[in-house]
Amino acid sequence: MIAVSAVTIAQANEEVNERLTDMIEQYMNVKNALVHNRDDLSAAWAERLETTIATTPDDIFDEDDLAEWQGSRGIIMDAAGAIVDAESRESQREALNELSIELRSLIETFGNPGDTLYILACSDYDEENDVFWLNDSEQVANPYHGPENINCGRVIGEL
């Protein structure tokens, strides 16, 4: 019985990693679309992210982690939905910050299943608060400004 439990846990962890990998890929596509001012693509990828979140079963998470997942799920769904439903690129960019913060928290909780991710920040977009995004390289490509000010930002951490 112990071996079956260990196998079940390993399979659940593998599925969590697969789902996180999909979420990260979809997030990167949302973010990259905004870097290039492609609000249509950003909305399409955010919709795929919503589907991934909605179809991720609760039973792949350990009981201790379930509440964290459920809280993050709601916030990510809301932020992705706001990107899908946004009437402007600026509204999509506002929702991206919330999505970025919550995905970062999710990765910090469950671990990064892939290559190093970089946390970048820019203070020029919002005078009161830095805005954040995740990137798969240290190269700055600001999704909040797009091509108009693509180099605004700095690496502040790694996941």
More confident of the two residues 7 and 42: 42
The strands making up 118-122's β-sheet, listed across from edge to edge, are 131-135, 118-122, 154-158
Provide mean pLDDT across the span 133-157.
Answer: 92
Provide the pLDDT for residue 13. Answer: 85
Q: Above 70 in pLDDT, residue 19? A: yes
Q: pLDDT digit string (tens) for 38-72?
A: 999 999 999 999 999 999 999 999 999 999 999 99
Q: What is the DSSP letter of 120?
A: E
Q: Which residue has the tokens 């799920």?
A: 73
The widest CA-to-CA distance across the chain, in whole angstroms, is 60
Cα distances (angstroms) measured from residue 71 to each of 38, 55, 77, 102, 105:
29, 15, 10, 10, 11
Provide the pLDDT for residue 2. Answer: 44
Q: pLDDT digit string (tens) for 66-122?
A: 999 999 999 999 999 999 999 999 999 999 999 999 999 999 999 999 999 999 998
Provide the pLDDT for residue 146. Answer: 83
Provide the pLDDT for residue 7. Answer: 43
Structural domain boundaries, residue 40: 2-158
Quote the CA–CA distance of 78 and 129 in Å, as a whole number: 21
Average pLDDT, the chain: 90
Return the structure tokens found at 23.
């979420």
Number of structural domains in the chain: 1
User: What would you report as the CA-atom Rg of the chain, rounded to the nearest whole angstrom?
Assistant: 16
